[in-house]
Amino acid sequence: MAHDNGKNGSNGTRSFKVLGSRPIRHDGVDKVTGHAKYGADLALPGMLYAKILRSPHAHARILSIDTSKAQIAPGVKSVVTGADFPPPPTGVAESGETPADYSDLARNVMAQEKALYHGHAIAAVAATTMRQAEEAARLISVAYEVLPPVLDVRDAMKDDSPVLHESMRTKGLQDAPDRPTNIAKYDIQELGDIDAGFAEADVVIEREHIVNTVHQGYIEPHAAVVRASEDGQVNIWASSQGHFMIRELCAELLHMDTSQIKVQPAEIGGGFGGKTTVYLEPVGILLSRKADRPVKLVMTRDEVFRASGPAPASYIRCKIGATKDGRLTAGYAYLAFEAGAFAGSAMGCAMEGIFAPYALTNLKIEGYDVCVNKPRSCAYRAPAAPNATFSAETVLEEIAEELGIEPLEIRLRNAAVEGVLHSTGVKWPRIGLKETLEAARDHEHYSAPLAPNQGRGVASGWWMNAGGLSSATLQINEDGTASVSEGSPDIGGSRAVMAMIVSEELGIPVDKVRPQVADTESVGHTAVTGGSRVTYATGWAVVNACRDAITQMRECAAQIWEVSLDQVEWSDGNAVLTGSRKSLSLKEIAEESHSTGGMITSASSLNAPGAAASFATHIADVEVDPETGRVLVTRYTVLQDCGKALHPSYVEGQMQGGAVQGIGWAINEEYIFNPDGVMENAGFLDYRMPVALDLPMIDTVIVEVANPRHPYGVRGVGEVPIVPPIAAIANAIYAAVGVRMTTCPMSPPRVLSAIKAKALEQ
């Protein structure tokens, strides 16, 4: 197993033949012609359909569940409740995006003692038709003791708040009171002396910001088909961001051997972090086991909103101080995040991100992870960083205005660069924030004229990017083509990139390489597709597999020529005998495989060391209608440090997609709950995400600052583009109509209310 220490990295000067070009993706034709197979597309003989009964209450004790009538309803083959689940293992599951307590995970999949949010799974039915399953689910009788819900993070932190978990005590807080609380965790990061830093400042601005719950909005609902055999083997076909994650979590939750479960990855219609855990699969295993039939489980859109994992709401208080020449002297932040029904929001990511772009030597960041009666939060593309950046980047904008310093200039004066300390105490390695700021400053957009009621805002953001476990297997076929199998579900064009890597390394055309995402029995363990890690980590595994295959092919050539290995080099897809004109092409070597010891096959598994951070600067132009408060985005540019962009089209796609999601988050998206904790806009009509007609083309500028750790200089690209938009839009609204928005989304009623309030003040 390769344990790459990252010492053979790139300085960014290498030129490539294939990488950096834009071949058509190998999975493209199937996707645009409707042949791609998604999680809900599979049908098996004898398959049943599942319906999950969900809690009508946001907070309630479950007193009893009577399934007797459902069990004998027409077409019903199995019924499960929480009682059918074995006791969860102790400890923490690490295979998703963030660690999660197994007990919480199990209770989120199906409630045990309490229903903790409206839509919480209570029971499930599998029947011959979907209609029969739905009717049978209605026959399940549940007795609840309804409890008052708590739906706001600040309310949940009060001493007299309703409590979700009687056993919860605040972790990380010295001398935490020994009484039930909704505050699951406290965390703190400190550098220097913030009192001294604020004392030194000529201007200090402190603001509060609220961001409401939003959903990732993936087009494809959660879906799985599960077949449990009499011999204990389980087959799962699922749409997810990690089929190894599904296998591992199902095995743990149901006390099975990992080897008993095979998961086949379906195509995935979006995930963005929301498909990095399990909801349906453990339920499907139990239903299928009881019925001895395959079971299909598909969430409706309504269920996706109510019962999957949205991004957490937050309350943030941010205070920044600066000298009159624009040097930042201190930063303080108080961040409280709604974890939802179970602990584990991405509060820590927000803490790391809030001041990341700046060289701040005095700072204090306090974070609270708080339970409320909402669905358990899940990752959403740079989790929690957009919330934090909204706060810091708008406060910084106020400081810039107060000091009369141009927005990009104040950022450049304080930009984090290599060697500067981050809030965690680690010095930054080579990073590209400054390059994105300079690119923004020099971009034509930044100085383009604006019309009345239009304004321009900028913001910068950061994301960490992950490394982790990845595997790949490479086969050189008899005719000299290649097949590469890897373990990362493809949510952004990564299969094409893997084929390009093989093409580049081996020196064969990219259309002679067939990439596939293999099931859990056909390739080595691979961590989730998330954390912007796939091109970096799985790509690295492919690189290693290629280089091993090249060594094997050199050995074959050496054998054919009857020379030693060190006399054979590899160049442009050919083995070359040193000091001669003799060469053998990859195809010729492959054709001789039978006589040189067998087919050329290589595999690589690695734990890629941490990927390098990426930064982005965004420029947003908006037009605000002062009579309605409607915000129209008229122009938008994303400038992002991507490291080496292996397939520029897909990198640009990530930049555009992330920006669009951030824009929707900024101007319209939020969960609207009634006082009983029921979401009132659980559909795309009323949970309004931007569509193509709502926005201009998102322009992109790829800034390439090579990651010195990676063989090609790759950095993660998928997450950072969602980080700056909320702040950029807020700053643009201020520039347009002079109101500072502090609650997100900045929807028409809120903007109009702010405009009117400002008019009254004047």
CB 623 within 8 A of CB 698: no
The binding track of 236-275 with respect to another protein, each residue x by CB under 8 A or -, is ------------------------------------xxx-
Nearer to another protein, 363 or 639 (CB): 363
Binding mask 160-179 for another protein (x = CB under 8 A): ------------xxx-----
Closest CA to 725 of 631, 655, 654, 620: 620
Residue 744 burial by Cβ neighbours in a 10 Å radius (0-12, 13-18, 19+): buried
d(CA 25, CA 497): 8
Binding mask 98-137 for another protein (x = CB under 8 A): xx--------------------------------------
DSSP alpha helix (H) spans, 320-380: 347-353
Considering only 9, 88, 340, 348, the residue that binds another protein (CB under 8 A) is: 348
Which one among 144, 380, 570, 615 touches another protein, defined by CB under 8 A?
380
Q: Which segment (93-101, 242-250, 288-296, 580-588) binds another protein by CB under 8 A?
A: 93-101
- Applying the rule CB under 8 A, the residues between 276 and 295 that interact with another protein are 276
From 532, 614, 668, 731, residue interacting with another protein (rule: CB under 8 A): 532
CB of 349 or CB of 703, closer to another protein: 349
Task: With contacts defined by CB under 8 A, name the span among 123-131, 180-188, 473-481, 645-653 that binds another protein.
Answer: 180-188
Site residues (CB under 8 A) for another protein, limited to 466-505: 466-469
What HEC string does 625-642 produce? Answer: CCCCCCEEEEEEEEEEEC
Q: Is residue 655 within 8 Å of 698, Cβ to Cβ?
A: yes
Shortest Cβ 119–another protein spacing (Å): 21
* 465 is a site residue for another protein (CB under 8 A): yes
**Residue with smaller CB distance to another protein, 466 or 543:** 466
Determine if 452 is a binding residue for another protein (CB under 8 A).
Answer: no
Residues between 41 and 70 that touch another protein (CB under 8 A) = none
Q: Which is nearer to another protein, 276 or 596 (CB)?
A: 276
Question: Near another protein by CB under 8 A, which window of 35-43, 228-236, 242-250, 342-350?
Answer: 342-350
By the rule CB under 8 A, 310 interacts with another protein: no
Q: Which one, 216 or 394, has the nearer CB to another protein?
A: 216
Span 685-724, contacts to another protein by CB under 8 A: 716, 719
Classify 6 in phi/psi space as left (phi over 0), alpha (psi -120 to 50) or beta: left
CB nearer to another protein: pick between 188 and 448: 188
Name the residue nearer to another protein (CB basis): 469 or 590. Answer: 469
Q: Look up residue 621 and give its DSSP letter.
A: E
365 or 472: CB nearest another protein: 365
Angle at 729 between CA 727 and CA 732, to 5 degrees: 110
Instruction: Name the pairing type of β-strands 234-238 and 261-265.
Output: parallel
> Considering only residues 242, 294, 383, 721, which one is a binding residue for another protein as defined by CB under 8 A?
383
539 binds another protein (CB under 8 A): no
What phi, psi does 296 have (nearest 5°)? -105, 135
CB of 662 to another protein, least distance (A): 13
Distance CA 608, CA 4 (A): 7
CA distance 136 to 95: 35
Sign of torsion, CA 566 569 570 576? negative
- Nearest distance in Å: CB 699, another protein: 24
Q: How far apart are CA 565 and CA 582, in angstroms?
A: 14
Total residues contacting another protein by CB under 8 A comes to 51
State residue 54 phi and psi, 5-degree precision. Answer: -120, 155
Longest dimension (CA), the chain: 91
- At 543 the three-state DSSP class reads helix
Least distance from another protein to the Cβ atom of residue 6, Å: 8
Residue 90 interacting with another protein (CB under 8 A):
no
Figure out which of the listed residues 87, 429, 683, 696 binds another protein, where binding follows CB under 8 A.
Answer: 429
340 lines the binding site for another protein (CB under 8 A): no
Is residue 500 within 8 A of residue 511, CB to CB? The reply is no
Binding mask 501-530 for another protein (x = CB under 8 A): -----------------------------x
Q: Is residue 424 within the footprint of another protein (CB under 8 A)?
A: yes
Pick from 382, 380, 411, 415: which is nearest to 394 by CA? 411
Of 276 and 640, CB closest to another protein: 276
CB of 659 to another protein, least distance (A): 16
Q: How far apart are the C-alpha atoms of 607 and 616, rounded to whole Å?
A: 27
| CA distance linking residue 581 with residue 571, whole number of Å | 12
CA 215 to CA 661: how far, in whole Å? 10
Structure tokens at 5: 């220490």
Per DSSP, the three-state class of 37 is coil
Those residues with Cβ within 8 angstroms of residue 83's Cβ, 6 or more apart along the chain or in another chain: 65
Query: Is position 379 an interface residue for another protein (rule: CB under 8 A)?
Result: yes
Residue 360, C-beta contacts closer than 8 angstroms, at least 6 positions apart: 191, 328, 330, 331, 414, 423
Region 589-618 residues binding another protein, contact defined as CB under 8 A: 607, 609-611
Interface residue with another protein, options 25, 26, 114, 381 (CB under 8 A): 381
Q: Rule CB under 8 A: is residue 337 a binding residue for another protein?
A: no
Give the interface segment with another protein, choosing from 106-114, 424-432, 453-461, 500-508 (CB under 8 A).
Answer: 424-432
Burial of 142 (0-12, 13-18, 19+ CB in 10 A): buried
For the chain, the C-alpha Rg in angstroms (whole number) is 27
**CA pair distance 280, 239, nearest whole angstrom:** 11
Nearer to another protein, 374 or 750 (CB): 374
| E strand or H helix that includes residue 49 | strand 48-54
> Considering only residues 5-24, where is the footprint of another protein by CB under 8 A?
5
Could you tell me if 391 and 211 are in contact, meaning their C-beta atoms sit under 8 angstroms apart? no
- Minimum Å distance from CB 179 to another protein? 18
Name the site residues for another protein (rule: CB under 8 A): 5, 92, 94, 97-99, 172-174, 186-190, 272-274, 276, 346, 348-349, 351-352, 378-383, 424-427, 429, 463-469, 530-533, 607, 609-611, 716, 719
